[in-house]
Structure 1
């Protein structure tokens, strides 16, 4: 079986884990956590970063930092993972789902503007497949209506947005806050893990407190206070030093990882392009303002039945592709307290989008086999 994903070791992961254990400190904020923080801040222009145990935790921290109150409205794309919404629901927010572009799973700024009210407090753009949302338009809306922007950059490490004036910024460095994932399906991994980015220094101190169970413990260890106590809301969002050690070894090899992933992405695109030209599938389009970090490769089939049949056909050939998100506006949880709403583009991607196997150790022969079997499936449809 060619799996959808396979976690990988690329450098000094095990060596650094051993070093962390031998250091006598395997709880959080040790030497490897600090190395990771420095790497991200220096290489991507993030004002401040804090590693977390997951991207979900980072989003929950962002919701607290945005001071979400009961009844505040938060705009979220319907085509996303549940954490993008759930983090704000936990603080009492009402989630306002909006649609994607017709040809792109990312949130449509025109749809955002239609749904802004006096209760709106946050916009959550999700950079699907690591491809940038139109951040210039989104930031203009946020400034006009005095809203927070929390970038869900779970899939967007080492991806960039170019503004109309030519300024190029890393995704995650544009909004007020951003959340990244280092889950084993991502470009850079540590099994489970995440990161909160704070782009306004006004929130630095409070972010540290929230991450340390609502205490000023971090300031105490820096010698800034002579004792620490409970001073705010918070939870245990801090990852162990073992996770940070694994992650840092991956970061040391970021260039090699990205080079390999981009090569895999381009090979899929080159081989499957004839099927798009025949009208069988649609492939990802990279907007002029965005870069491609090769997080995933997906195709969009013509309808649900065709996608289902393709999945089953590939599985008979020992290939395991997977579909992705189910529109959150159709979820059991949302419909329990809300009337059904029509979000057609999100529903289209729910029914038709298919992700192909994609991981660092995917071999050329395996990828060739996947491409050949997809072509074989569509050749049978032509007969």
Structure 2
């Protein structure tokens, strides 16, 4: 049996919408399908304004410009995250300040943020790992006390919530990913969610190469020109058309993934072993079943586990190498306090296969194999 780590779930309408976009003769950004996606995101997240981008990386870069991040500024974030979280701010000349994660959710530890704040701190960037929300009340409290912006990296958090609020729509800004590895996919793609109305117009300008082109197309100015810094962050209408089909089936995709996640949690939770522990989702968090992971005690056990699953046809993967341990992280960032939980996740975390089209037979095979391998490693 061969179980890949991820497999794109395609609905029945992607090809239909792409063909319609081609027939329209307009494949550049901000066409009909882009507008439909914007409206869906605004309605389903409650944000003030949503703007599709060519990637979540691009959305983070826009957020960094909107936040007026500049040389010497500091931005607090976890080290256990994808490189784009830091890169977006390093490109502006800022210093990422790495803070440890919580041992339960693998999210930024809100209790350790205040100690990392300096006179140069401009923003906090919580990353909602595995679609499980950070403790946003605590983060917002620290941000308010120090007058800092909160920019949510909700790349993994589409359809997840914190106390009923959509992830990405809680801080001043938030970013989403529609990369092919995400629950809702467009191949490549992302979105910037704006939650403060005064940022919306400038966000459009930054996204449109620094021009007021969007206002021109709405008839608000008689010509458009260069008015600010910016770049080309718009996705093609082909990407937007594919994404629109996915968004139409978002609830079905979510339900399918959740069935897999809950089966893993129930079956693997019955294993009597102290080698690993399962994911934690606090009751105030509504997660989206983006990742199911097991966290082993050390890198040696993890590697043996991954190899044993590979030999039986199951593709299980580790995740991030903590940024503070990377060459660029050492060069551009700094560490606040000890990052022991971050390093434990970097050495012990394994992600199991999870996609919307997994059959009950697939899931059963993974559960049986994991159970057997863990018993042999114990």
- Considering the TM-score relative to the shorter chain, is it more than 0.5? yes
1:298 to 283, 293, 299: 293
Report what 1:98 is aligned to. Answer: 99
TM-score by length of 2: 0.97
Distance between the aligned counterparts of 1:262 and 1:17, measured in 2? 28
* Alpha-carbon contact 2:105-2:281 (below 8 Å) kept: no
* Alpha-carbon contact 2:273-2:375 (below 8 Å) kept: no
Report what 1:172 is aligned to. Answer: 168
TM-score by length of 1: 0.96
Tell me the SS of whatever aligns to 1:6: coil
* Alpha-carbon contact 2:291-2:354 (below 8 Å) kept: yes
Report what 2:372 is aligned to. Answer: 376
Report what 1:2 is aligned to. Answer: 3
Deviation at 1:379, TM superposition (A): 2.1
Tell me the SS of whatever aligns to 2:113: helix
Matched, 1:182 2:178: yes
Matched, 1:279 2:274: yes
Deviation at 1:339, TM superposition (A): 7.3
Distance between the aligned counterparts of 1:298 and 1:52, measured in 2? 29
Moved over 3 A (4+): 336-342
Deviation at 1:104, TM superposition (A): 2.4
CA RMSD of aligned residues (A): 1.2
Report what 1:75 is aligned to. Answer: 76
In the comparison of the two structures, how many residue pairs are matched?
376
* Alpha-carbon contact 1:81-1:325 (below 8 Å) kept: yes
2:308 to 313, 320, 332: 313
Matched, 1:158 2:159: yes
Distance between the aligned counterparts of 2:99 and 2:40, measured in 1? 35
Unaligned runs of 5+ in 1: 163-167
**CA deviation string 1:226-284 (max 9, x = no partner):** 11111101000000000000001111111111111110100111110122x43232001
1:235 to 231, 235, 247: 231
Distance between the aligned counterparts of 2:244 and 2:203, measured in 1? 22
Unaligned runs of 5+ in 2: none
Matched, 1:198 2:183: no
Distance between the aligned counterparts of 1:3 and 1:224, measured in 2? 50
* Alpha-carbon contact 2:207-2:231 (below 8 Å) kept: yes
**CA deviation string 1:259-314 (max 9, x = no partner):** 11110100111110122x43232001111221121111001012110000000001
